[in-house]
Amino acid sequence: MQSLPDKITPYSPWVAEHLPLIERDWPVLDLAAGSGRHTRLMLERGYQNITAADIDTTRLADLARRAEVTVIACDLEGAPWPFAPESFTGIIVTNYLWRPGFASLIATLRPGGVLIYETFMQGQEKLGRPRNPDFLLQPGELRRRLEPHCEIVAFREGPAPGPAMRQAIVARRLNDDTEPTV
């Protein structure tokens, strides 16, 4: 197993469990990648075409040297959205939420592609950060937002190790999906 640089949080077990749904030669986006812990996981597992995007790419510098990885510095909350529609067949999002970007996020996924998403939800504010409701999903929110455009492959919410309150989903974009408007 490849050793990780200091101060990189181990990967999410949810992502690790469901990653095999994304084929290794598909283009995959690690959105708001942070330290790139899921890009590193994908490299360990032999993924060939990974894009790691974040507004702050300082913790991705070593990954930018890998042939399999493209690092993109971008503001996901500014305009325009940095990715063309249907650019990726897999997307990973963890510990990041920006609701106005949701329709663009789904549009970035190719029909048949897989989104793996996990972040904090309501109730987390009693346990620790984040406490800002803008960063906390409401009960069932990921399912509600994705259902019109995706087959829901797996969904989980509630107390998690930490302790924390988290919500997680795996969704496959429908092949006959029309332009997302959520």
Q: How far is the CB of 145 from ligand SAM (least distance, A)?
A: 18
Q: Which span (17-25, 50-58, 60-68, 121-129) binds ligand SAM, by CB under 6 A?
A: 50-58
81 binds ligand SAM (CB under 6 A): no
Q: Which of 54, 83, 109, 157 binds ligand SAM (CB under 6 A)?
A: 54
Q: By CB under 6 A, name the one of 19, 71, 76, 169 that touches ligand SAM.
A: 76
- Only one of the segments 91-99, 103-111, 120-128, 155-163 lies at the binding site for ligand SAM (rule: CB under 6 A); that segment is 91-99
| Minimum distance, C-beta of residue 39 to ligand SAM, in the bound complex (Å) | 9
Q: How far is the CB of 105 from ligand SAM (least distance, A)?
A: 12
CB-closest chain residue to ligand SAM: 34
CA distance 138 to 123: 9
- Are the C-beta atoms of residues 161 and 120 closer than 8 Å to each other? no
Q: Are the C-beta atoms of 43 and 2 separated by less than 8 Å?
A: yes
Residues that bind ligand SAM (CB under 6 A): 9, 32-35, 37, 54-56, 75-77, 94-96
